[in-house]
Amino acid sequence: TLAPTGDLVAAAVAAGTAVAAVNVITLEHAEAIAAAAETSGTAVVMQLSENAVRYHGGRLGPIAAATHAIATAATTPVALHLDHVTDDELVAAALEPPFVTMFTSVMYDAGHLPYGENVSRTADVARRAHAAGLWVEAELGYVGGKPDAVRSAHAEGVRTDPAEAERFVAETGVDALAVAVGSSHAMTDRTARLDIDLVAALRDRLPVPLVLHGSSGVPDDELRRAVAAGIGKVNVGTLLNVALTGAVRDALTDPRLTDPRKYLAPGRDAMRRSVDQVLATLRPLG
Ligand code: G3H
Ligand code: ZN
């Protein structure tokens, strides 16, 4: 069943854990995520990034409809999130029918912009998205003090400043904040080290849940520590793609193989197992 993103994050935080938010690129991704959620009876967020929409020719409709159908048919609560949106036209589309009732939240990503511009753009999106009934995530990782040093919030070494984050949330009215605490996107090995003290400092200071991006590169024990310190939504993508591609590569060693189902099915199973693993890591203790 489709469920509001904010409810899933709040329920996870209340249970002392974080909700897993998993990237969908193909139909098989969505099926794998749903299967893992159903097997363990866990609520999850399925998320479509602007990049994934671009991959599908810039057309949000078909992949959103497919993911929404899988989310709705799932036996556990599933939220549908539009992730890392930078394109104003895509934001506008998400706030209009039919998408406004398919998606339950949106992340507006202006984390690479200087603070002031990030605030004004994010505040505008948050106001419009709230009017449309959507939960809003934004990103802040720009390190204050160097107005010209525009850097990605998830570049190595970038950190979110707690005082700036507190101001950002107050000034934008967002429902959750993606923070830069040591992870970075698209890591294919799990070697990231997080600044757990910074997570705790941000949690103490902010009235909204914290979101960890680039969680594929974070080892399980480090992820558990980050969640215990205050992360409420854990975004995972690359982990599934490593599993998918590995399984497909293995299947394709048979040169007679032509039916795509013969290699996509093991790919989908491998993705389901990797989501199983993430859900197990995030399962509340006791
Ligand atoms: O928003 C999506 C996540 O941050 C995924 O990052 O692909 O590095 O796990 P990842
Ligand atoms: Zn991300």
- pLDDT (0 to 100) of residue 15: 97
d(CA 106, CA 22): 14
Residue 112 labelled as part of a binding site: no
- Any catalytic annotation for residue 148? no
**Positions of the chain with pLDDT under 50:** 142-149
d(CA 269, CA 244): 8
- pLDDT (0 to 100) of residue 155: 58
d(CA 153, CA 151): 6
- pLDDT (0 to 100) of residue 286: 61
Spatial neighbors of 151 by CB under 8 A, at least 6 apart, are: 112, 141, 142, 143, 158
Residue 139 labelled as part of a binding site: yes
Q: How many domains does the chain have?
A: 1
Predicted TM-score of the model (pTM): 0.95
Is any atom of ligand 1 closer than 6 Å to the C-beta of 83?
Answer: yes
- pLDDT (0 to 100) of residue 149: 45
Which residue range is the domain that position 215 belongs to?
5-282
Q: Which ligand has the nearest atom to the CA of 214?
A: 1
The full DSSP string for 207-263 is: SS-EEE--GGGS-HHHHHHHHHHTEEEEEE-HHHHHHHHHHHHHHTTSTT---HHHH
- pLDDT (0 to 100) of residue 112: 83
- Helix ranges (H only) for 88-237 are 88-94, 99-102, 115-131, 162-172, 196-205, 220-229
Q: Are 46 and 79 in contact (CB under 8 A)?
A: yes
- pLDDT (0 to 100) of residue 144: 37
Residue 166 labelled as part of a binding site: no
Atom of ligand 1 nearest to the CA of 183: 8
Give me ligand 2 centre to Cα 105, in Å. 14
Atom of ligand 1 nearest to the CA of 239: 9
CATH assignment of the domain containing 244: 3.20.20.70
- pLDDT (0 to 100) of residue 146: 36
d(CA 240, CA 68): 19
Give me ligand 1 centre to Cα 118, in Å. 21
Q: Which ligand has the nearest atom to the CA of 49?
A: 1
